[in-house]
Amino acid sequence: MADGSPDGRPHSAGADQTPAPRAEDRRELRGVLGSFATGITVLTAGRELPRGMTANSFTSVSLDPPLVLVCVVRTAALHDLVLDEKAFAVSVLSADQEHLARRFADRGRPRGAREFEAVDTEPGRRTGAPILSGAVAWLECSLEAVYDGGDHSILLGSVLDAGGDPGTDALLFYRGGFHRLAPSTV
Domain CATH code at residue 152: 2.30.110.10
Boundaries of domain holding 102: 37-163
Quote helix, strand, coil % in the chain, to nearest 5: 20, 40, 40
On whether residue 151 sits in a domain, the answer given is yes
For the chain, the average pLDDT equals: 84
Least confident of 97-106, 109-118, 119-128: 109-118
For 161-175, write each residue's pLDDT tens digit.
Answer: 999 988 888 887 766
- 73 Cβ neighbours under 8 A, 6+ residues apart: 79, 151, 152
Do you find a cis peptide bond into 65, omega within 30 degrees of 0? Answer: yes
User: Do 119 and 103 form a contact (C-beta atoms < 8 A)?
Assistant: yes
Burial (CB count <10 Å: 0-12, 13-18, 19+), residue 73: middle
Which helix (H) or strand (E) is 103 found in, with range? helix 98-105
Asked, for residue 10, whether it belongs to a domain, the answer is no
**Rounded-to-integer distance, Cα 55 and Cα 67, Å:** 17
Mean predicted confidence (pLDDT) in 142-160: 97
3-state DSSP call for residue 80? helix
Query: Nearest CA to 50 among 138, 122, 113?
Result: 113
Is residue 124 scored above 80 in pLDDT?
Answer: yes
- Count of domains in the chain? 1
User: Do the domain assignments include residue 184?
Assistant: no
Alpha-carbon distance of 186 to 178, in angstroms, equals 24
54 occurs within a structural domain: yes
Q: Which amino acid is at 62?
A: S
What does pTM read for this prediction?
0.80
Tell whether 139 is covered by a domain.
yes
Q: Is residue 107 part of a domain?
A: yes
